[in-house]
């Protein structure tokens, strides 16, 4: 009888609890050859950090290593030095959003959503997290807020593409959703509102000679990341807190800095982005394995964030953990462009939750999206009531 593989990200057991699998890999095969993707999978913190930080050895742009393979359009397929000015312009636009009062506006929206549910039980993902991040897209880009009933089903379909390497069959089924989101983004980009962050970014791209395809691809990436990974971060954090002994009460005494530390710890504990892929740009040794130029390396950042060599008691939530050098938001030249936005949405969501529904508890079994690369929830039933 064949032995069970060390790493099978397609299995239902893995989707429910990847962290026990990561622990076995870290201990027994920290640089693991995963034949289905023909890629090396690394799980130790130092190895993952090395892969993320050294853009000379590990490329996001495949054309640097494979000349016949074009770079994806947009910032997500760029490496330094080409990416630096592009990322700087995006950062400048996002800083303007925060300075314009996005956080109070999002906190008010979060409170409105919670009050609207009255004392009823509700689905925290569908009724709270999703509409909150759609408002965040409106504020971040200065575009009309996407219609939840239309947009979210397409978003869920497109998120399945993050596992396209593992499940190639999903690609065909997402064609109509990709087309819908492409048309939506093209409309935003064609006529951005005067004075909006999108107008600033479009003007910068025009002056810098950035192609229309790269401009639209980056806007699409920003919108989907906000609706996808930021939403997943808030949902995962809420579930982790509600499973704790004291629920949301642990956040009540925290000031702004304390909430940011809590956000970092919850991102470390159960972050949305589980893996980041790079292409090796030179022959090298990683751990005790020889990795060849052109081979893909998958840094399992979620595994690195539970590495006991770096994090004391890594399987526990310690909201005051300091220092907390987690990799949930990347590291180095490719650090997450939306890191500040993620923390902003976290503060807005949990400030409102503590103020409006401080006694929230789980009211049923949560349901996870069946995607390995992006760990998120499709359903999180909650209600006010005494803790079990």
Q: Is residue 325 part of a domain?
A: no
pLDDT at residue number 99? 66
Q: Is residue 169 part of a domain?
A: yes
Q: Is residue 119 part of a domain?
A: yes
Q: Tell me the C-alpha to C-alpha distance, in Å, between residue 189 and each of 85, 101, 192, 226, 266.
A: 20, 23, 6, 17, 34
Q: Is residue 202 part of a domain?
A: yes
Q: Is residue 161 part of a domain?
A: yes
Residues 6+ apart with CB under 8 A from 115: 356
Q: Is residue 378 part of a domain?
A: no
Q: What is the dihedral of CA 273, 249, 130, 174, to 10 degrees?
A: 30
pLDDT at residue number 1? 40
Q: Are 349 and 234 in contact (CB under 8 A)?
A: yes
Instruction: Provide the CATH number for the domain around residue 131.
Output: 1.10.630.10
Q: Quick: pLDDT tens for 10-50.
A: 999 999 999 999 999 999 999 999 999 999 999 999 999 99
Q: What angle do CA 359, 362, 368 make, to 5 degrees?
A: 140
DSSP code, position 125: I
Which pair of tokens denotes residue 355? 């103020």
Q: Quick: pLDDT tens for 266-322.
A: 999 999 999 999 999 999 999 999 999 999 999 999 999 999 999 999 999 999 999
Average pLDDT taken over every residue of the chain: 93
Q: Quick: pLDDT tens for 251-263.
A: 999 999 999 999 9
- Give the predicted TM-score (pTM) of the model: 0.95
pLDDT at residue number 322? 96
Q: Is residue 106 part of a domain?
A: yes
Whether omega for the bond prior to residue 323 falls within 30 degrees of 0, making it cis, is: yes
Residues 6+ apart with CB under 8 A from 316: none
Closest by CA to 263, choosing from 275, 276, 250, is 250
How many structural domains compose the chain?
1
Q: Which domain holds residue 186?
A: 60-294+333-357
Q: Is residue 89 part of a domain?
A: yes
């Amino acid at each position: 009888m064949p032995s069970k593989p060390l790493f099978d990200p397609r299995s239902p057991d893995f989707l429910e609890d990847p962290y026990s699998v990561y622990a076995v890999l870290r201990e027994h095969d920290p640089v693991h050859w995963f034949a289905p993707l023909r890629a090396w999978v690394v799980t130790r913190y130092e190895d993952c950090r090395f892969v993320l930080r050294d853009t000379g050895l590990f490329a996001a742009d495949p054309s640097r290593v494979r000349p016949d393979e074009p770079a994806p359009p947009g910032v997500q397929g760029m490496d330094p030095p080409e990416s630096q000015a592009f990322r700087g312009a995006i950062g400048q636009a996002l800083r303007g959003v925060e300075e314009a009062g996005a956080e109070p506006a999002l906190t008010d929206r979060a409170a409105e959503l919670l009050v609207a549910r009255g004392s009823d039980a509700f689905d925290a993902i569908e009724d709270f997290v999703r509409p909150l991040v759609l408002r965040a897209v409106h504020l971040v880009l200065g575009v009309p807020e996407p219609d939840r009933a239309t947009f979210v089903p397409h978003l869920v379909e497109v998120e399945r593409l993050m596992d396209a390497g593992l499940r190639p069959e999903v690609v065909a089924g997402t064609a109509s959703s990709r087309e819908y989101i492409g048309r939506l983004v093209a409309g935003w980009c064609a006529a951005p509102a005067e004075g909006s962050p999108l107008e600033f970014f479009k003007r910068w791209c025009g002056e810098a000679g950035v192609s229309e395809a790269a401009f639209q691809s980056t806007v699409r990436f920003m919108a989907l990341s906000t609706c996808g990974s930021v939403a997943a971060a808030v949902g995962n954090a809420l579930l982790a807190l509600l499973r704790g002994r004291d629920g949301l009460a642990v956040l009540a005494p925290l000031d702004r800095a304390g909430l940011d530390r809590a956000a970092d710890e919850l991102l470390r504990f159960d972050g949305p982005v589980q893996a980041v892929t790079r292409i090796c740009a030179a022959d090298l040794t990683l751990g005790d394995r020889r990795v060849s130029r052109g081979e893909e390396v998958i840094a399992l950042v979620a595994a690195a964030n539970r590495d006991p060599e770096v994090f004391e008691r890594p399987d526990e939530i310690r909201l005051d953990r300091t220092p907390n050098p987690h990799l949930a938001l990347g590291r180095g030249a490719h650090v997450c462009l939306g890191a500040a936005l993620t923390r902003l949405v976290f503060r807005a969501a949990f400030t409102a939750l503590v103020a409006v529904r401080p006694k929230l508890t789980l009211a049923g079994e949560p349901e996870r999206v069946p995607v390995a690369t992006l760990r998120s929830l499709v359903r999180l039933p909650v209600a006010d009531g005494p803790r079990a």
